[in-house]
Structure 1
Amino acid sequence: MDHRPQAWGRPRDDVYGAYDASYVRPNQHTQSPIVTGTSVVAMKFKDGVVMAADNLASYGSLARFTDVKRIRTFADTSIVGFGGDVSDMQYLDRHLTELSIDEAYQSSSAQQRPGLNARSLHKYLSKLLYHRRSKFDPLWNHLLVAGLDDEDKPFLAAADLRGTTFTSPSLATGYGSMLAQPIMRRHVPDEASVASVSRDQAVAVIRECMKVLFYRDARSHDTYSLAVITKDGIELSEAEKLEQQSWAFADRIKGYGTQTV
């Protein structure tokens, strides 16, 4: 007698077709990220937020893909920076695209701003990440969400794969939390100091952070995306390049090449 669950109460296969056993196959969840992106850095200024992330996706230690954009816009009200697994980033990107279409349909006019501003979007993403974590199938990403809140004030917050959230005048993921945060905190140590920082100053600080990360983080790249969001809209450049950056200075370091200490 066949005691397998697939055979319980089944009529003849030649009459009703073969049994579909797909439901008894176990789900296979991602155990660790494979293709990953490194740091995302962001900083508030008096009129908005500036964010940057390089365009590299690494396969382990191999710089495999050099044209992966890790900053996405949402409904012309928010920007999202993705660190971590690229496949999970693509899943979230498709999910946010569908969500933005739904929000656009619900708007009564083209001039009306959608209901999901940056603060609402951050809360939604944090709940989504926590839900996936609770299913033991986390999205292996660390997100930065930037934009304007209900009072048109700069908003910047983070959410990790466990759904943990926090906010600060400056935020970074990956190695940026160690290498770039000290640079940004010199200019915006607290919320009160944000009002004294102009857009040009904030962009210059972020560019300096990307330069430091390129030289110090082995998983970074010299081509990056830079986004600035204000009440006037979003400006996104996805082909920024570190100017006049090379390793030519290395031949002046003692112990490099033929030089001796």
Structure 2
Amino acid sequence: MNHHQEHWGRPRSDIYGPYNAAIHNAGPHARTQQPSITGTSVIALKYDNGVMLAADNLASYGSLARFTDQERLIKVGRETIVGISGDVSDLQYIEELLERLIIEDEYEHDGHHLRAPHVYEYLSRVFYNRRSKLDPLWNAVLVAGKNDDGSAFLAYVDLLGVTFSSPSLATGYGAYLAIPLLRKLVSDQGDEKKVTESEARAAIDESMKVLFYRDARSLDKYSVAKVSLDGEVTIEKNVKCQHMSWRFAKDIRGYGTQKN
């Protein structure tokens, strides 16, 4: 006896049309359980005239440094920068969502445009919606730009829909290594008024160098973005860590063939 599903009793083809046997080849519906190609930390800092962000250009396939030219700082609209760490395919999906959002907004030609808080609210809803469907976007995102009142804006949202704001933020490994360095300049709201652009840039460069030393999934080539309070947005690409030195490595004990 033939027990295959295709040969069970079914509606007549001359009445309901030909039977589609392809339905038996459909597999179960699955969700992505973990990211595959990922980018590491994004760091950001407020200063007296805006916000500064940095992210390296590496996309890792597990422990393999697979792509060394992946840009993870995205300009959105006229005066907003979005920095994304985590899964690169989800990064590309988010970039497409934001592009559609800006195109739709610009259709109106009403003199208004989306600012950083609007982009941030949109992303927070997208991330929480996907989390609620048990199909999260495997990313953590920093949004930087200007508030409606002209002040600097910097906020965070992750794959669980968790949102918060601070004068200094970082994702990935940077949350452990870069944040203490950045908080030497800005540890509380209002401290950014005392920090100049050159001091902020020095702290960003130093943090990216430390991350290259200590984060096995980072690169010594990175991009730096700046959003000033007058609305100017600049992105400097292919910045290299300067004055690199591995002399400290000779003092590390407990690994390899080194002896005390």
Superposition TM-score, scaled by structure 2 size: 0.89
In structure 2, relative to structure 1, the CA distance for the partners of 1:13 and 1:241 (3 Å cut) is farther
What pairs with 1:7-46 in structure 2 (closer than 5 Å)? 10-12=11-13, 16-19=17-20, 21=23, 25-46=27-48
Deviation at 1:77, TM superposition (A): 1.8
Superposed displacement of residue 257, structure 1: 8.9
Local SS of the residue matching 1:21: helix
Alignment partner, residue 201 of structure 2: 203
User: In structure 2, which of residues 180, 183, 186 is the aligned counterpart of residue 182 of structure 1?
Assistant: 180
1:61 aligns with 2:63: yes
Counterparts of 2:189 and 2:25, CA distance in 1: 52
Question: Could you report, residue by residue, the CA deviation over 1:88-141 in whole angstroms, capped at 9, with x for unpaired residues?
Answer: 001101111111111111233xxx341x21111111101100000000100000
- 2:191 corresponds to: 193
User: 3-state SS of the aligned residue for 1:27?
Assistant: coil
- CA pair 251-28 structure 1, distance change in 2 beyond 3 A: closer
Which segments of 5 or more consecutive residues in structure 2 lack a partner in the other structure? Answer: none
Q: Secondary structure at the match of 2:107?
A: helix
Tell me, in whole angstroms, the C-alpha distance in 1 between the residues paired with 2:99 and 2:8: 43
After superposition, the Cα gap between the structure-2 partners of 1:254 and 1:143, relative to the gap in structure 1 and judged at 3 Å, is: closer
Aligned pair partner of 2:118 in 117, 120, 137: 120
Alpha-carbon shift at residue 260 of structure 1 (Å): 5.0
Question: Is contact 1:83–1:173 with CA below 8 Å preserved after alignment?
Answer: yes
Q: One-letter code of the match for 2:170? A: A
Native 8 Å contact 1:38 1:220 kept in 2: yes
CA distance 1:213–1:12, change in 2 (3 Å): same
> Partner of 2:218: helix, strand, or coil?
coil
Q: Does the aligned pair in 1 maintain the 2:146–2:231 contact within 8 Å?
A: no
User: For structure 1, which segment, 249-258 or 83-92, has the greater mean C-alpha deviation from structure 2 after superposition?
Assistant: 249-258
Aligned to 1:144: 142
Q: Encode CA deviations 1:160-207: one digit per residue, 9 max, x unaligned.
A: 101010100000001101100001101001112111111111111111
Within the candidate set 201, 217, 220, 1:219 is matched to 217
Structure 1 stretches lacking a partner, 5+ long: none
Does structure 1 conserve the Cα–Cα contact (< 8 Å) formed by 2:79 and 2:231? no
Partner of 2:79: 77
TM-score (normalizing by structure 1): 0.89
Q: Deviations over 1:180-235 (max 9, x none)?
A: 00011010011121111111111111111101100011111000011000123110
Question: CA 1:122–1:166 in 2, change beyond 3 Å: closer, same or farther?
Answer: same
CA–CA distance in structure 2, aligned partners of residues 54 and 159 of structure 1: 19
- Residue 92 of structure 1 corresponds to 94
- Rounded to whole Å, the distance in 2 between the matches of 1:38 and 1:251 is 23
Letter of the 2:231 partner, please give it.
Answer: D
Q: Confirm whether residue 172 of structure 1 aligns to residue 170 of structure 2.
A: yes
Instruction: Report the counterpart of residue 242 of structure 1 in structure 2.
Output: 241
The question of whether the paired residues in 2 share the 8 Å contact of 1:251 and 1:257 is answered with no
